Structure 1
Amino acid sequence: MILNSFKYLLVAIFIGITSIKAQSQQPNIIIFFTDDQGFGDLGCYGAKGFETPNADNLASEGIRFTNFYVPATVCTPSRAGILTGRYPKRSGLHEAVLFPFSENGLPLQEYTMAELLKDAGYETWCVGKWHLGHKEEFMPNNQGFDDFFGVPYSNDMDNYYYARSDFQAPPLPLYRNKVLVEHGPNQEFLTTRYTEESIHKIKNRDPNKPFLLYLAHNMPHVPLHVSPKFKGKSTLGLYGDVIMELDWSIGEIVNTLKAEGIYDNTIFILTSDNGPDLGSAGPLRGKKAQTWEGGQRVPGIVVWPKKIPKNEECKEPLSTLDLFPTLARFAGAHIPDNLILDGKDVGALWLNPKTEKLKARPFFYYARNGGLEAVRYGKWKLHIKKSMGWDQIKLGDFELALYNLENDISELNNVAEKHPGLVKKLKSLINEHAI
């Protein structure tokens, strides 16, 4: 009897140790998500007028993607996409953005990345801008995040009067979990406060659990704000100062990971929610709110020192939709069998960027009004209509346009007439894409 009890105890201890060991092998995950930062707004992507040494060093530690996309041209739908691995239309958040008077948000039946990783044993933290519903039922604590510190929507909505709706927004609310802790915080210090909060969470984490940190900075969304220590630092003015402070934030978090001895087993993902408003899209055509490349192709850096090779540039097309299934793979998380995902597991590419090639697949571009305007397949991109970024008075009605993005990154040479068969094929992809 005593012997059997002892055997059961040994088995329980073994199972517990095995579980802890398995969790210790799971990588920590940080998604550093900026707001309206363009493809050309980092030094390693050709930025001028300011320096981003921490982002550039991060790129040298892993993979810098040059065909990295978000599934929307503006804030809310892009955030829905990164957290669900699904085109925003599936969650009904594909049109425009949510406002302080909006009654809806990310539906609770959506299975978020935070819920996925929490079910796999992760601590889950959201710091910064949420913008997926400010009503309590839609806030981060009800969407899989253990802790939240930040604001529920964009910083330009602070105390804003919406004349069409006759609605006066309140001062920008700052929350800690479900508790409103401050009205109209001084935005000069938001980047600093989010960084300090993130560092605090990392230092005070449960040592027996891996963590997800979703750090969604408000900047460089207008109105621009920067702390006094970075004011006047760049030769590009306030915008450059703001980017330099975001770069400082990257450095502070990386330094903390190293000091805690967990940098090597942390996946650090740096990207933006859409193209620039005030910043640079580099050689790309268009900007935020447009389905030209400048509106949806963004910086994309992925680092995992323990697994991913250093100093790689990868031209394979992928998007934030791919993060959900890829991170699930590396975290050992189970994706429900009935969950429809639009992203693909690209983990093999992350581990072997020199040799691994992705099978060609369509990527669809949804406009700010929710309409489907373009598709990319391989090196080809077909535009079928244009709601923004086209001057109809000067240029007339928009005509169907086909571009070879491999040798025409700026989308200047419409070759639709030369490739009627290809146009037909790409149009059929759009017609078959029914959500």
Structure 2
Amino acid sequence: MHIRVMKMPHIPTWLEMSLHLLLCLLVLCTAAKPPNIVFIYADDMGYGDIGCYGHPSSLTPNVDKLAAEGLRFTDFYSSCALCTPSRAGLLTGRYQTRSGMYPFVLLTDSLGGLPHSEITIPEILRGQGYATAMVGKWHLGYGANGTFLPTHHGFQHFLGVPYAHSQGPCQNLICFPPNTTCFGGCEQDQVLLPLLRNEQIIQQPVDFTQLEQMYIDFAQSFIADSVECGKPFFLYFASHHTHVPQYAGEQYAGKSPRGPYGDALMEFDGSVGKLKNALQELGVENNTLLFFTSDNGPETMRMSEGGSSGLLKCGKDTTYEGGMREPAIAYWPGHITPGVTHEMASTLDMLPTFAKLAGACLPNVTLDGFDITNLLLKGNGSPRKTMFYYPSSPNETQGVFAVRHGKYKAHYFTQGSISSGSTPDEDCHVTAKLTPHNPPLLFDLESDPAENSNLCAQGMTADLQQILKDIKRVKDTFEKKMKFGESQMSKGTDPALRPCYNPTCSPKPSCCRSS
């Protein structure tokens, strides 16, 4: 861009040159202004759960519109098929094995949490002047005096629940209509579910009839305050939907043909629409990257009250495609061309991508993510060519359970899960014990995303042998460089760590309530 200054006879040359320089700097600063980032994270949402991914009765007009106006991914992966490890992978850009966020998930009274040595997305963005806030489900640790909460990992503001909303006695959750029970399992020996603002409990138990609107109000205020201050912002909106127990506020309860699950999905979809509208109304939509995905696949054991993997095999807590391949949409008007991409990408790629957009340097640690900026903004191919599938309880002896390299996926171990039960496919059930495969099961995911036809069972050709050699080489190279961090879940538990509105009350946990 050329800056032209009209020369006036009474303006000294030095002043004219200074004015020209100042205007040039102003243009450069304006052009280089980093984008705002809104990351919307569903919970236990399956690949086939929303309308734009093929579900016939899901009412998700806002997400569907986002997909129509943005870039929809068909081959997008979480780093794990379970809550805690997948969230660690997202925020650090590293497989959960490196940070020690395994096995399984953190409990309400776990001693461990996301190590403070790990560098997170909000920490990187704060270094570039971003305002940072998180709304919703954390599940990366609570710890003594809240030492593992989001405010200790780069978030300036937090409103949410420190763990899964299923980790409590669900008959005490307040749902709509009044005096009804939310659908789902209960953990009777836990404290009533707490709602925190930053590090303070403001409500216990949570009022689920108002929760989603509280989240939206908080998010809208954060966005508005950031815009007023002229600061770029990062909002991590980690919804509890569509994890059990299902709930929805008055506006959505009983409105979906899919029952309680559909009601929860509708409320979540409504939140997506409200966030998008807030960006529009505040005039920052064209300078905001909005990214939508889910932490892992659906809990099919819930049957109609759980999610759908669509055409993919199995679901939550498995290394089949239904466990880790997720719906994903990137939206940024004027920057991202609407369409569908079959390029491979992952939540692991968010940290390096957001860092690039913000003009930040990458942390001096081993990253498993790739910068996909050119895929998003230019439609180029993805730098990600490989995805490694760890189980929720990994170990160094077994290593990765499966590897996708290009269009081929090789399973070295398979195992079912209780979370993926109640489907006709017995490979998904908890009765499907850990099974090694030599040669590995091999699938062409372009022609067979449902993993129905094991290519090796059709006869071992020279071409198949070469494919397996190539995948094994990639696997071996990766595993040689993988250093497992100390397991945070193996640090044990302490009931005294359970969040309590009145820490000195008795008897616990029943006395831990705000009213």
Tell me the TM-score normalized by structure 1. 0.90
Does 1:281 find its partner at 2:309? yes
Deviations 1:38-93 (A, max 9, x none): 11111110112222111111112210000000000010011101101111111000
Deviations 1:119-173 (A, max 9, x none): 011000011111111122211111011101101000010248xxxxx99321111
Letter in 2 for 1:316: E
Query: Aligned match of 2:153 in 113, 136, 143?
Result: 143
Decide whether the 8 Å contact of 2:349 with 2:372 is kept in 1.
yes
Question: 3-state DSSP class of the match of 2:272?
Answer: helix
CA distance in 1, matches of 2:27, 2:156: 21
Deviation at 1:368, TM superposition (A): 1.4
Structure 2: gaps spanning 5 or more residues: 1-14, 171-186, 300-305, 418-426, 483-515
Query: Aligned match of 1:334 in 355, 361, 364?
Result: 361
Structure 1 residues 162-311: aligned runs within 5 Å:
168-205=189-226, 206-277=228-299, 278-310=306-338
Greater CA radius of gyration, 1 or 2?
Answer: 2
CA distance in 1, matches of 2:90, 2:258: 30
CA distance in 2, matches of 1:273, 1:234: 23
Does 1:405 find its partner at 2:426? no
Partner of 1:320: 347
Structure 1 residues 380-399: aligned runs within 5 Å:
380-389=408-417, 390=427, 397=435, 399=437
Question: 3-state DSSP class of the match of 2:369?
Answer: coil
Letter in 2 for 1:426: I
CA distance in 2, matches of 1:210, 1:396: 47
Would the alpha carbon gap of residues 51 and 375 (structure 1) be closer, same or farther in structure 2, given more than 3 Å must change? same
Decide whether the 8 Å contact of 1:191 with 1:219 is kept in 2.
no
Tell me the TM-score normalized by structure 2. 0.77
Query: Aligned match of 2:115 in 107, 116, 122?
Result: 107
Partner of 2:95: 87
Deviations 1:203-255 (A, max 9, x none): 22243210000000011111111112111211111111111111110111111
CA distance in 2, matches of 1:358, 1:220: 29
CA distance in 1, matches of 2:199, 2:334: 36
Structure 1: gaps spanning 5 or more residues: 1-6, 161-165
Partner of 2:502: none
Would the alpha carbon gap of residues 222 and 51 (structure 1) be closer, same or farther in structure 2, given more than 3 Å must change? same
CA distance in 2, matches of 1:373, 1:257: 41
Letter in 2 for 1:433: F
Partner of 1:163: none
Decide whether the 8 Å contact of 1:30 with 1:268 is kept in 2.
yes
Question: 3-state DSSP class of the match of 2:209?
Answer: helix
Deviations 1:179-203 (A, max 9, x none): 1111111223322221221112112
CA distance in 2, matches of 1:433, 1:251: 40
Does 1:357 find its partner at 2:357? no
Would the alpha carbon gap of residues 234 and 430 (structure 1) be closer, same or farther in structure 2, given more than 3 Å must change? same
Deviation at 1:21, TM superposition (A): 3.7
Deviation at 1:396, TM superposition (A): 9.9
Identity of aligned pairs, percent?
Answer: 39
CA distance in 2, matches of 1:320, 1:358: 13
